[in-house]
Amino acid sequence: MTTSRDHPRTTRSRPTRRNRRYRSAAATGLVAALVAAGTALPATPALAVNAQHSTVVSADPANWTPHALDGTVYRIIQIGNRVYMAGSFTKVRNAGSTTELAMPRLVAFDATTGRIDTTFRPVVNSTVKALAAAEDGRSLYIGGSFTSVNGAAAPRVARIDAATGARVAGFTPAALNGQVNDMRLVGGRLIVGGAFQTVAGVTRRGLAALNTGTGAADSSVNLRLEGPRTTSTGATAPVKVEALDVSADGSRLIFIGNFSSVAGQARHQIAVARLSSTGAALSGWSTIRYQPTCSGGTPTYMRGVDISPDGTWFAVVTTGYTYTGLLCDTAARWEFGTETSGKQPTWVNYTGGDTLLSVAITGVAVYVGGHQRWLDNPYGRNSAGPGAVSRPGIGAIHPTTGKALAWNPTKERGVGTADIYATDRGLFIGSDTSTVAGEYHGKIAFFPLP
């Protein structure tokens, strides 16, 4: 039976630990005080890495997070003491309340109490899938499939006030002709990845950069993604970037998706670029381990990527069903190391035939989410093979051994856990389901550090 933490008689209580500083890793360096709506916010830069933890988070979710009542939470980010959740949902409510609020696709709530800020009211006409904190600490960038924000044209990217949701004056983004899936801000550029093929009418397949102040296309990032993949059954799709990440020092960009050539060089579903003040250049780092196809209906089976807090390695998660010797339905650790070809994973953890969608590295753990039933399952074929451990919907992997950790809160599987996001107080997850650890948590949950 599903229980709800909105009803204290049926659940355990957990202190909110108000005395602890709560800072987002994506907003590291921001003053941890985003006060009432309309008040000035701190103007300090933000970084795009997950927080580093010294221990694994609790398996007991906090009881104060709000609930999205439909759709999916695709992305979570924190700026100061405010958390933003984005997705395809249209209705939300506070924990402990029965009042439904029509606040579609993008909502802000207090990082300590979980109370929804009803004064933050951007009007976005379609799904939001990407978020990035602006350098001024007072605004944020959003990306997705939308074409308007607050009634004005915004072709898949916009910049809005972090307190009110109003559009930021002067930011007029170059038109992208397809969905944005992910974004990072680095060195005065907003790097965006998605399914678009043109930017301001100029060919820029899957990966581009915009000026952070004006939104104009930045031609210094032009890595020329080409070669949409075709499976053994003939399935194909346009070039796209499924996910990307940037190292904490801003020197490396990694991106994954549907391509087989980058800057004229063979790169199968994954590529690394060097970032500098003059733009982006393809790195010599490469692997052919993602060159084979998996499922006949899946041109790209790449789903999530995250760089470690220290910037020396990264993890990739995939879909694609189970094929012996291939990296379908896996989590894998990769080292950056020297910029050479022929790279091999440090370890691979197999689900045995279930999709992984999201990944976050916190130093002591590699958290993975999807609609998986198991980890440590290299011998499973849509079943639990020898050594498999049950980890429905969410799990944690030891960063050195590549074996599943004991952490196992359990989660309703659904389509899967779309986002995992670490702050210095714990771990947020976003998804399309509402049962975590046997309790009701509508599309979002938070696991605090013990």
Cα–Cα distance measured from residue 14 to residue 12, given in angstroms and rounded to the nearest whole number: 7
Tens digits of per-residue pLDDT, 139-156?
999 999 999 999 999 999
What's the confidence (pLDDT) of residue 411? 98
What's the confidence (pLDDT) of residue 237? 96
Given a contact cutoff of 8 angstroms between Cβ atoms, the answer to whether 143 and 194 are in contact is yes
What's the confidence (pLDDT) of residue 301? 98
Where is average pLDDT lowest: 15-24, 337-346, 386-395?
A: 15-24
Res 302 pLDDT > 80: yes
What's the confidence (pLDDT) of residue 18? 30
User: Is the pTM above the cut of 0.85?
Assistant: yes
Kindly indicate the confidence band of residue 253, based on its pLDDT and cuts at 50, 70 and 90.
very high
Res 227 pLDDT > 50: yes
Res 260 pLDDT > 50: yes
388-397 CB burial, b ≥16 within 10 A, e <16: beebbbbbbb
Res 3 pLDDT > 50: no
What's the confidence (pLDDT) of residue 19? 32
Q: What is the mean pLDDT of residues 242-247?
A: 98
Domains of the chain: residue spans and CATH? 3-448 (2.130.10.10)
What's the confidence (pLDDT) of residue 48? 54
What's the confidence (pLDDT) of residue 323? 82
Cβ neighbours of residue 400 under 8 Å, at least 6 residues apart?
none
Res 22 pLDDT > 70: no
Short-list 305, 413, 399, 397, CA closest to 353: 413
Kindly indicate the confidence band of residue 49, based on its pLDDT and cuts at 50, 70 and 90.
confident
What's the confidence (pLDDT) of residue 322? 79
Average pLDDT, the chain: 90
Given a contact cutoff of 8 angstroms between Cβ atoms, the answer to whether 403 and 348 are in contact is no
For 30-115, where are the alpha helices, taking DSSP H only? none
Res 11 pLDDT > 60: no
Where is average pLDDT lowest: 40-54, 183-197, 277-291, 300-314?
A: 40-54
Tens digits of per-residue pLDDT, 411-440?
999 999 999 999 999 999 999 999 999 999
Q: Identify each DSSP E strand in 69-112 by its residue range.
A: 73-79, 82-87, 91-93, 101-102, 106-110
Helix or strand holding residue 53 (H, E) = none
Kindly indicate the confidence band of residue 187, based on its pLDDT and cuts at 50, 70 and 90.
confident
